[in-house]
């Protein structure tokens, strides 16, 4: 059986995602579309808007066959770590032959050329990179500008979020022993655009929800998913608890303790320690620390990492996913699970009762799910141990 894989957050699932699922299936002729989806938290460091099992069900209703969970240890990483975890998880299924991802149209023809430059790192490129870092640019920005200058390309095309992630997918894929075929699909909406419509970004939908414009937000969601999303929005998560918890912990940390967390160095830990004691909220802390070098995403991601205890050493000790955890599957596609058991290179978790809290990656997942639940007002979601009590969903 042949499958095409997609790495996603679906925060929330929308019409553009449904189009990608359909195009990936049509372009590859695959028997199945399998999604590796982040669970409780997103790569930007925020709790997912709605429950992970609900997001997985929406994806199945709109065209996916199977959704497996991208472990939190990779979901809460910079673009390189996020891509590495997703690509290696899909590869470990043993049946995924192609990786589909969204990309801006002007970037689709550039992926191979830029990925080769970043992999080979010719000396003129490295000199340009060093110069950018010396000017105080963040590493992703400096890298994009250096590659654009070296290859004589438009730097704006390389700095777009989806292109940056596509590059990381391409590089992570090249590191596999058996690389997947890459299938970029042209995006039909701006990644962070806030304009609503029948095909719009997840950012636009979340912004509309924050404004109380739920009906308008639902217009950007496939019709068959609207009832589920409307119901789940009534018990959605907000970041306030995580922000407050992280701020309390940051105030009690020394520079040395804080330096154990990812993305620090360059004096950032000293700045955060100082500002955490001065700022009354996490939002003001981030605003006080943000600069060309210290990006919003980098700072925002630190908050749940601190709240959950995700250190640099933990990331280094677990460089790849260690199990395959199913969130949801179409009933007609349940045979995929047997195929994964036969062909996959990681254990398939179908009975979570057998999982042990001594497994650091699994223990982190359960903490993340519990913390996400406490970010909602839903009594059901605020219960502890939902990773043990919630069975994977089968959709007819």
pLDDT digits (tens, 9 = 90+) for 221-238: 999 999 999 999 999 999
Residues 6+ apart with CB under 8 A from 132: 141, 142, 143, 145, 146
H or E element that contains 325: strand 324-330
**Is 3 annotated to bind ligand?**
no
pTM for this model (two decimals): 0.94
Among 139-143, 153-157, 364-368, the least confident range: 153-157
Q: Is 11 annotated as a binding residue?
A: yes
What gap in Å lies between CA 41 and CA 76, rounded to an integer? 7
- Give whichever of 59-68, 140-149, 345-354 has the largest mean pLDDT: 59-68
Task: Give the per-residue pLDDT at 264.
Answer: 87
SS3 234: coil
Would you state the pLDDT for residue 106? 66
Domain spans of the chain, in order of start: 3-104+174-190+225-235+320-395, 111-159, 240-312
Contact criterion met (CB below 8 Å) for 138 and 221? no
Q: Is 162 annotated as a binding residue?
A: yes
Nearest residue to 191 via CA among 220, 210, 170, 163? 163
Distance CA 349, CA 335 (A): 15
| DSSP calls for 24-65 | HHHHHT-SEEEEEEE-SB-TTS-B-SS-HHHHHHHHHHTT-S
Residue 102 known to bind ligand: yes
Beta bridge partners of 181: 98
Please report which residue ranges of 323-385 form alpha helices under DSSP H. 335-343, 360-374
**Is 17 annotated for ligand binding?**
yes
For residue 95, which of 356, 348, 303, 274 has the smallest C-alpha distance? Answer: 348
8 annotated as ligand-binding: yes
Quickly state the pLDDT bin for 188 (edges 50, 70, 90). Answer: low
The response to whether 323 counts as a known ligand-binding position is: no
- 365 is known to lie in a ligand binding site: no
Is 255 a known ligand-binding residue? no
Please measure the distance between the N-terminal and C-terminal CA atoms of the chain and give it in whole angstroms: 20
9 marked as part of a ligand binding site: yes
CATH of domain 3-104+174-190+225-235+320-395: 3.40.50.620
Helix (H) or strand (E) holding 159, with range, is helix 155-159
Predicted confidence (pLDDT) per residue in 112-139, tens digit: 889 889 889 999 999 999 999 999 888 8
More confident call, 111 vs 313: 313
pLDDT at 339 over 70: yes
CB 245 within 8 A of CB 294: no
Please list the residues that pair with 186 across neighbouring strands: 103
Helix (H) or strand (E) holding 348: strand 348-349
15 in a labelled binding site: yes
Q: In this predicted structure, which of 36-45, 283-292, 348-357 has the lowest mean pLDDT?
A: 348-357
Q: Please, which pLDDT band fits residue 193 given cuts at 50, 70 and 90?
A: low
Residue 190: pLDDT above 90? no
111 labeled binding residue: no
Let me know: does 395 contact 328? Beta carbons within 8 Å: yes
């Amino acid at each position: 059986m042949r499958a095409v894989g997609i790495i996603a957050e679906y925060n929330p699932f929308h019409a553009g995602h449904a189009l990608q699922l359909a195009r990936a299936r049509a372009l590859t002729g695959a028997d199945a579309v399998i999604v590796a989806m982040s669970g409780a938290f997103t790569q930007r460091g925020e709790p997912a808007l709605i429950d992970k099992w609900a997001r997985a069900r929406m994806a199945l209703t709109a065209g996916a066959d199977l959704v497996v969970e991208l472990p939190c240890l990779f979901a809460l990483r910079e673009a390189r770590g996020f891509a590495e975890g997703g690509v290696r998880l899909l590869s470990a299924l043993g049946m995924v032959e192609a990786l589909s991802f969204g990309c801006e149209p002007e970037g689709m023809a550039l992926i191979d050329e830029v990925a080769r430059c970043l992999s080979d790192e010719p000396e003129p490129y490295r000199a340009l990179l060093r110069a950018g870092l010396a000017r105080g640019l963040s590493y992703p920005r400096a890298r994009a500008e250096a590659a654009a200058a070296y290859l004589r390309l438009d730097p704006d095309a390389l700095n777009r979020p989806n292109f940056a992630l596509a590059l990381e997918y391409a590089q992570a894929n090249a590191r596999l022993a058996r690389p997947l075929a890459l299938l970029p699909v042209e995006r039909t909406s701006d990644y962070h655009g806030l304009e609503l419509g029948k095909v719009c970004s997840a950012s636009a939908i979340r912004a509309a929800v924050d404004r109380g414009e739920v009906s308008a937000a639902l217009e950007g969601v496939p019709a068959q998913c609207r009832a589920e999303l409307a119901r789940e929005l009534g018990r959605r998560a907000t970041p306030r608890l995580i922000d407050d918890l992280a701020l309390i912990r940051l105030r009690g940390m020394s520079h040395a303790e804080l330096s154990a967390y990812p993305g620090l160095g360059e004096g950032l830990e000293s700045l955060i320690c100082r500002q955490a004691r001065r700022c009354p909220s996490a939002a003001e802390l981030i605003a006080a620390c943000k600069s060309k070098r210290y990006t919003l995403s980098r700072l925002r991601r630190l908050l749940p990492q601190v709240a959950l205890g995700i250190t640099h050493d933990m990331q280094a000790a677990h460089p790849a996913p260690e199990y395959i955890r199913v969130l949801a599957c179409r009933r007609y596609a349940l045979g995929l699970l047997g195929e994964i058991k036969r062909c996959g290179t990681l254990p398939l978790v179908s009975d979570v009762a057998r999982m042990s809290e001594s497994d650091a990656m699994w223990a982190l997942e359960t903490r993340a799910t519990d913390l996400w639940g406490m970010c909602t007002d839903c009594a059901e979601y605020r219960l502890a141990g939902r990773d043990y009590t919630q069975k994977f969903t089968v959709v007819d």
